Structure 1
């Protein structure tokens, strides 16, 4: 899904763990939708949980700094699942 950066061995390990985590989240998301939870509610809850975890791990300022990078990344299509990678 993401292009490798320097430090390939660390990237491979981290990428594998992130992929596994994404699979767990996708499974939980699908179960919740089957139970009638709306996608928007799941998205809001997921963002809250992710941001709260980042704040707990890295603090308010570091999390805010990270979030400042999101608008450009979103606009460039980095989070568009329908985007075609070349």
Structure 2
């Protein structure tokens, strides 16, 4: 079983594979910054690409349900804590 076999809502913590993936994305952001791309532009493009992939994998309804929970995760610092994984 891998993370793609588990519903999105059942993945509260990053697995080792997801930590590695986050490192790749963080590296891509750093490389884009060196090339002069704005971090906000990269973030929006990354979100678009991420949601496109999630919809292809799980379907619109599952991803919409997942996205509906994002405001609470943002407000409780779930993504602020992910910043510490970069270092």
**4+ runs of 1 displaced by more than 3 Å?**
81-84
Structure with the greater alpha carbon radius of gyration: 1
Name structure 1 gaps, 5 residues minimum: 1-10
Q: Higher RCO, 1 or 2 (CA under 8 Å, sep at least 6)? A: 2
How many residue pairs get aligned? The number is 72
Unaligned 5+ residue runs, structure 2? 1-10
Q: Name the CA distance, whole Å, in 1 between partners of 2:82 and 2:22.
A: 17
Q: Which has the higher helix share?
A: 2
TM-score (norm 1): 0.75
Q: Aligned-pair RMSD on alpha carbons?
A: 2.3
